[in-house]
Structure 1
């Protein structure tokens, strides 16, 4: 295991400081099918809907998930929205100074008044940087996930994508499994973005939504079962991040994680995760895990299909 200072030494000021995962886009040939899944299975609130797009939320933000109709087939993680601390003007200037091309738009979506776009290297995925999006009044629900937690993707060059997110967007390193899976945070949560190196796969690995506790997670899983959505893996507890996890697929085949009890760092200056009785180390610092069953699932078996890279 590596020293916990990995990924933090000699760190330069980022061009933009991301503080929150905002939303993720999906393309689908069957918009009605995915809208039904998000509204009836996961109980998201539908904020706006047209013939070609739907905007759904878990909370107060105008949208957490954007679904777009596409005649070219399904694509997950077609774009990702990140809320930043900086002004867009300052972020745009600094990102361009570092050699990246940007685009500025004020019409990209309902509820998005001003957006700076930069393309993620390796994948070509547009990243939407914004200071704020509109809020909406969302009906109270005991079933709905509390928030969009994180999005995981494949990448052809792990060190390059880690450097991009840390040096350009201010992410911090949380953990690595072996030499192929890295976890990055932009707030107190253990990860908001994670990447698995692959020369075989592209685009999204999975998207994750948070349950507030075990009772809420059980409620969500019972609701999935009542609507004939079966789990592919879990419940289990990951080693890296230590969240209790479950994985299933949405109607388009995208892998969806429902989780709870993810590690957090409430004091970045101390550099270790808030203590939990199931941690392997005291204190638990960011580290590189051996690529074994404990890093993936402390409770039980692996799922080779979901870990293939």
Structure 2
């Protein structure tokens, strides 16, 4: 396991600044739009017969729903904090095929596309989105798309790619099979679980403001017939409070709050919290045990199978 950035020859990694959006393919676009708008309270920004753009915040979209087979991680978009042409040059210098397109979405007129190694998932790199038009606060809606977790055949190529090419930083690892990576002060924006048999999505996560916001959403889920598969609980890596339920296509959806953050990069440890076991709490490799998965106790074996 490589827990430090991999090299890109003489090139400097692209400066990814945040997770922007995720693409979902589904056989029933209407059903998924209803789930996101009526259950999770996302705003529908644009819609066609085969595609829908939805958001939680000021960006044009956080989720893109497209007509197709069930595929909950058909592409992932990351915002970069630099010039698109410069990023394109460095990606090519590093030996990666890069496509530049202007027709990806109405809000992102200039996008670089590079494939994630070993999975072939297209990654969209862009410098900004147009606005969503959201002009008010709602008591239910999540604050943002937080992170995406996926099954992959081998962790090392993915970790080397994200750290060496996209500038992510190592946040934590569980055993030798689950790695957490960050692109800003949040504990993780991407995490990967090694699996010889499973592919695609492990879960997608949306941030809630605080415990009261999370409780309000759980009550809203229950009122609309969505029951929890796991949680509430507290993870070890990231120390976030969590719940998991399934969307209409059976994808695992995490709602979380209290995720660890690094406010001072020069110190390199997570902002101290009373529930931390180490002081200071640095990134580390965690033992594979119940306290790591959920310090409150119960685990869901199905979500930990790999």
Deviation at 1:13, TM superposition (A): 6.0
Deviations 1:95-136 (A, max 9, x none): 011110010001111211110000001111000000001112
2:63 is matched with which residue? 65
Aligned to 2:25, which of 24, 27, 33?
27
Deviations 1:201-246 (A, max 9, x none): 0011000000000000000000000000010000000001100000
- State the distance in 1 between where 2:59 and 2:109 align: 13
Q: Is the 8 A contact 2:149 2:192 kept in 1?
A: yes
The runs of 4+ residues in structure 1 deviating greater than 4 Å are 8-13
TM, length-normalised to structure 1 = 0.96
Cα RMSD (Å): 1.5
Aligned to 2:49, which of 34, 44, 51?
51
- State the distance in 1 between where 2:12 and 2:213 align: 37
Q: Is the 8 A contact 1:28 1:75 kept in 2?
A: yes
SS in 2 for 1:164: helix
1:127 is matched with which residue? 123
After TM superposition, the structure 1 = structure 2 runs for residues 219-298 of structure 1, keeping only pairs within 5 Å, are: 219-298=216-295
> Across the two proteins, how many residue pairs are aligned to each other?
304
Q: Is the 8 A contact 2:11 2:93 kept in 1?
A: no
1:15 is matched with which residue? 13
Deviations 1:265-293 (A, max 9, x none): 01111000000000010000000000111
1:93 is matched with which residue? 89
**1:301 maps to 2:286:** no
Gaps of 5+ in 1: none
Deviations 1:171-220 (A, max 9, x none): 00000000000000000000000000001100110000000000000000
Gaps of 5+ in 2: none
